[in-house]
Amino acid sequence: MNHIKLLFFATIRDRAGTKSLELDIPMDMTIKGLKEKLSKDYPNLKESMKSVLMTINREYAFDEAVVPANAEIGMFPPVSGG
């Protein structure tokens, strides 16, 4: 198993009800798989998973990225500017 730390920001933090969470996930899990797991295990986050921006160790990550061991995963709502 792979032990990771999730950090929640802005509205995602509000929906999660906490600023961080530690999880054990399979070693070969991708960002997409992690989103699916969070949607299933934490129903309040399901809607956020459709548009969440994710980072792995402070670098943006896409759905196909494999989560490395002991990673810190940041989860941000989409940002709009003007």
In this structure, is residue 82 part of a structural domain?
no
**Structural domain boundaries enclosing 31:** 2-76
Q: Look up the CATH number of the domain holding residue 64.
A: 3.10.20.30
Residue type, 53: L
The residue written with tokens 């920001």 in the block is 9
Instruction: Work out the mean pLDDT of the chain and round it to a whole number.
Output: 95
pLDDT given at position 8: 98
In this structure, is residue 81 part of a structural domain?
no
The residue written with tokens 């009800």 in the block is 17
In this structure, is residue 23 part of a structural domain?
yes
- Cα(53)–Cα(35) distance, rounded to whole angstroms? 11
In this structure, is residue 19 part of a structural domain?
yes
pLDDT digits (tens, 9 = 90+) for 43-72: 999 999 999 999 999 999 999 999 999 999
CA dihedral sign of residues 42, 47, 48, 53: positive
Per-residue pLDDT band at 40 (split at 50, 70, 90): very high
In this structure, is residue 52 part of a structural domain?
yes
**The token pair that represents 61 in the structure block:** 């990550």
| Pair type for strands 72-76 and 53-56 | antiparallel
pLDDT higher at 55 or 78: 55
In this structure, is residue 65 part of a structural domain?
yes
